Amino acid sequence: MRNNKTLPIGEKLKQVREARGMTQKEVAAVAMYSAPSISSIEAGRMDCEADGLLLVRKALNIEKMPLLESERKVFKDKLLIFCDLILDWKIEEAKEMQEELSDIEYLPFECELNTYYKLFECLLLLTENNFDEAAAILKTIAVNLQETDDEITYYYYYNMGILNSKTFNDEVAMEFFLKANRLIKSGYKGHEVLHYNTASCLMGLGFLVQSVSFLEKWHEMFSSEKSDRYIGLWIDELLARNYIRLNRFQDAQPLLEKCLKKAKTLNNKRYIGIIFYDYGLMYKTAGAGSSALEYLDKALECFKGDEINYLEALYLKVLCCVDMKYSTLCVKSIEEGKKLAKGNEMYTILFESAKHLTSLSNHKSTQYIEGIAIPYLVSNFSFYAALVYSETLRKYFEGKGDGSVKKALLMSDVTRGIYERMLNGGDFTLEFTIQVHHIGKKGFEKNL
């Protein structure tokens, strides 16, 4: 995994040529050397002057690649800029830069820089939900992970956290984020995003109080951040959603107003949609169904049908329709959701469960919700979703009478148990250190 520091320049040129699939004769023709001269340069029998080396590099199309030791730091800095563009969600700029950097793969002797490039390529794939390609890259890197330095290991852990988080393995993601945190040192890029993703995992695991406590510290730090930074927007949006789920609407609303204004300034359609979804969630939770539907329709216009965000907004729209007894729209939305959710177990169960909410008088529906939906959601840490069903069944059994009191009490116990898990949090030890040199407070560290 580590570079061979003593590799002669001729051998490096030979490895690049072979990686390119070129013959010595082909290189010689472009570089205006004879084939025997190229052979002698590669074997170290002939020195290559600066002008001649430039011609050979052009022939191999590696003028911008770090062939010499003095060029390595410059190239690594470019790789870190590439990473920053991805973390700041400047995807088009990142892709343009990737074209310039991708030729590093033709330098097999540059093990370390190749590993950095592959890790950041993986991060770019993850932003576009190309999970299989990203997982394949990480599997390759894992083979030699023990031979890498802490910084490479940090980025590996971070990517593994993102991969698992995006594929609904929040518990595994959390473990990787915690491992990454332990390796943070001054100068590492992206650690503020690491903490955001940790808070997001806490929320995904249903531990809302822990997530809010964590995010409030970060909100305080990024309140004065530049408006073109995404990290402040991400933190405020996630904090607002947590406030909504804790019924703290007065705290959520000003944050949503701030987020919507910033997202529109950044012209980010996806995040505008996410904030519209949050407004829909807030109004739905507050019992204002018509306003909720209005915002959820706006949110759906911002997402593609194959996105998780679209499924999430459509599912919440279904729950609003159930509350408001809009049966025709409800049935239509459930059918669309079940069709789009094929292959996604979580949303298949959610839409099927929502369908059963419309027919609670049918014993099979209450059986499905009690025996399949609630246990599944709890086991997958979807506590907030599980509460919708446990509370709905509790109210249904209470109003039904005819010996359903025991069922109502059972659902009350289930609801109480879910709340306890949400409040108590998990077994994760959050010993995070926030390093804030990037906002002008050098040397200052604040422990969470």
Domain assignments of the chain as residue spans, ordered by start? 1-63
Q: How far are the Cα atoms of 199, 209, 218, 300 from residue 244, in angstroms, in the given order? A: 16, 12, 18, 20
Stretch among 217-226, 341-350, 415-424, 426-435 having the lowest mean pLDDT: 426-435
Confidence tier at 188 by pLDDT (50, 70, 90): low
Of residues 1 and 392, the one with the higher pLDDT is 392
pLDDT at 209 over 90: no
Question: Rounded to a whole number, what is the largest CA-CA distance in the chain?
Answer: 98
User: pTM here?
Assistant: 0.69
Q: Rg for the chain (alpha carbons), in Å?
A: 27
DSSP secondary-structure letter at 433? E
Q: What is the pLDDT of residue 147?
A: 82
CB 260 within 8 A of CB 269: no
Mean pLDDT, residues 177-196: 75
pLDDT in tens, 57-109: 999 999 999 998 899 999 999 999 999 899 888 899 999 999 999 999 999 99
pLDDT at 351 over 90: yes
pLDDT in tens, 217-257: 777 766 654 444 677 888 899 999 999 988 999 999 999 99
Confidence tier at 314 by pLDDT (50, 70, 90): very high
| Percentage of the residues of the chain whose pLDDT score is greater than 70 | 90
Mean pLDDT, residues 364-381: 92
How far apart are the C-alpha atoms of 446 and 333, rounded to whole Å?
A: 47
How far apart are the C-alpha atoms of 369 and 401, rounded to whole Å?
A: 19
DSSP secondary-structure letter at 68? S
pLDDT at 428 over 60: no
Q: What is the pLDDT of residue 2?
A: 65
Confidence tier at 190 by pLDDT (50, 70, 90): low
Q: What is the pLDDT of residue 434?
A: 37
Q: What is the pLDDT of residue 371?
A: 94
Of residues 49 and 385, the one with the higher pLDDT is 385
Burial class from Cβ neighbours inside 10 Å (0-12, 13-18, 19+) for residue 294 reads middle
pLDDT in tens, 5-35: 678 999 999 999 999 999 999 999 998 888 9
Report the topology of domain 1-63.
434 Repressor (Amino-terminal Domain) (1.10.260)
Stretch among 188-197, 204-213, 257-266 having the lowest mean pLDDT: 188-197
